[in-house]
Amino acid sequence: MLTRIDHIGIACHDLDATVEFYKATYGFEVFHTEVNEEQGVREAMLKINETSDGGASYLQLLEPTREDSAVGKWLAKNGEGVHHIAFGTADVDGDAADIRDKGVRVLYDEPRRGSMGSRITFLHPKDCHGVLTELVTSAPVESPEH
């Protein structure tokens, strides 16, 4: 069952400048950064709030590291802006299978590694009213050592 909006992905040409805009304009701080070589992006996750299911909601800023990446191609065609919406789930495998059974194309046969060690898959935008939709199971949060 989908439990929250995990994040909204925003494609940008210059990650550092876009991060500065969100910090200066809204006061958002960077929670996590990484380069995902498989997806060809450099990203920053800006935490918006905690959620009742123990997760959080983020803005994910995405700068392509190569023109042939999915985000690079999308950015060249559409320019900067909202790239996708992601819903959190405790069971990306089960929810993807349920959604596939309802006739929606799931883009990955098996979920892949996403930001911060999460497991992700995407739903085809043509089956979701023009919205690229991601399903996310967050990585387990490790309890602090005492």
CA–CA distance, 59 with 82 (Å, rounded to integer): 10
What are the residue numbers of the active site? 7, 43, 60, 84, 134
Q: Which of 109, 94, 97, 107 is nearest to 134 (CA)?
A: 107
pLDDT of residue 140: 80
Q: What is the pTM of this model?
A: 0.90
End-to-end CA distance of the chain: 34
Q: Over its length of 146 residues, how does the chain's per-residue pLDDT go in tens digits? A: 898 999 999 999 999 999 999 999 999 999 999 999 999 999 999 999 887 777 789 999 999 999 999 999 999 999 999 999 999 999 999 999 999 999 999 999 999 999 999 999 999 999 999 999 999 999 886 544 44
Residue type at position 60: Q
Give the pLDDT confidence of 53-62 residue by residue, as tens digits: 777 899 999 9
